[in-house]
A and B are shown apart, each in its own frame.
Chain A
Amino acid sequence: GAGVSQSPSNKVTEKGKDVELRCDPISGHTALYWYRQSLGQGLEFLIYFQGNSAPDKSGLPSDRFSAERTGGSVSTLTIQRTQQEDSAVYLCASSLGGAGTDTQYFGPGTRLTVL
């Protein structure tokens, strides 16, 4: 079946612009995660959705970052007034139920470059 998809695959933007990143999880997966991966770094947790609710937003680095999920499916991560330090690969993952034993399935990522 189809895996997790993300769009766009690459995004180049100018400092100060807003960007939207999209994630389509595996059908039927109730849990969805956003991470950020900077060069040479591990994965930095941003936000977790269970259904359409976000019980854990603790990883969002500033109020310029927001995310929503609709219909228990597609999620959008929005970064307002982008800064150069926002440049990174943004990864989305989904899992069946969000339990600690669940495997996460990752999308290919969106590479964001802020000039």
Chain B
Amino acid sequence: AQSVTQLDSHVSVSEGTPVLLRCNYSSSYSPSLFWYVQHPNKGLQLLLKYTSAATLVKGINGFEAEFKKSETSFHLTKPSAHMSDAAEYFCVVSDWGGSYIPTFGRGTSLIVHP
């Protein structure tokens, strides 16, 4: 069984300050973990993914995430927020449960203030 919890429904930051979006997961096997972003009125797009290689994963637009097995976490970070980062972010876990059906978190809305 797999599950994912995004710890914050909303995160508000000022432009130029760091971003931290938190995600905890539960998995019976060796999971793959993803972060997707959904800009207003746009489709979901992959930011980055972890697939059992390097635990620190770099994605698009300066985002990165670190897989911490001991903490069952996969938090998303960015050193300096930009106005264009304002969007909904989804953490996703996928492991073998008869088939690979990804489980999505409920999403974190990132608000960026000028």
Contact = CB atoms under 8 A, between A and B. Distances in A.
Interface of A: 3-4, 33, 35, 41-43, 45, 48, 50, 55-56, 91, 93, 98-104, 106-109
Nearest to A111: B41
Interface string B41-60: 01111100101000000000
A55 B102 contact: no
Interface centre among A3, A43, A109 (most CB of B within 10 A): A43
A106 B100 contact: no
Interface residues of B, number: 25
B42 A108 contact: yes
Given A103-B46, A108-B42, A108-B43, A41 B98 contact: no
Contact of A106 (B45, B96, B98): B45
User: Closest 4 CB pairs between A and B?
Assistant: A100-B100, A42-B106, A43-B104, A101-B51
Given A100-B32, A100-B94, A56 B43 contact: no
Contacts of B95: 100
B32 A42 contact: no
Contacts of A93: 44
Interface of B: 31-32, 34, 36, 42-46, 49, 51, 90, 94-96, 98-107
Contacts of B104: 35, 42-43, 45
A104 B107 contact: no
Contacts of B31: 100
A101 B94 CA distance: 8
In this complex, the member of B46, B49, B101 whose beta carbon has the largest number of chain A beta carbons within 10 angstroms is B101
B46 A56 contact: no
A98 B100 contact: yes
A56 B99 contact: yes
A4 B45 CA distance: 12
A102 B32 CA distance: 9
Contact of A55 (B99, B103, B107): B99
B107 A42 contact: yes
A108 B39 CA distance: 11
A106 B107 contact: no
A45 B101 contact: yes
A95 B71 CA distance: 29
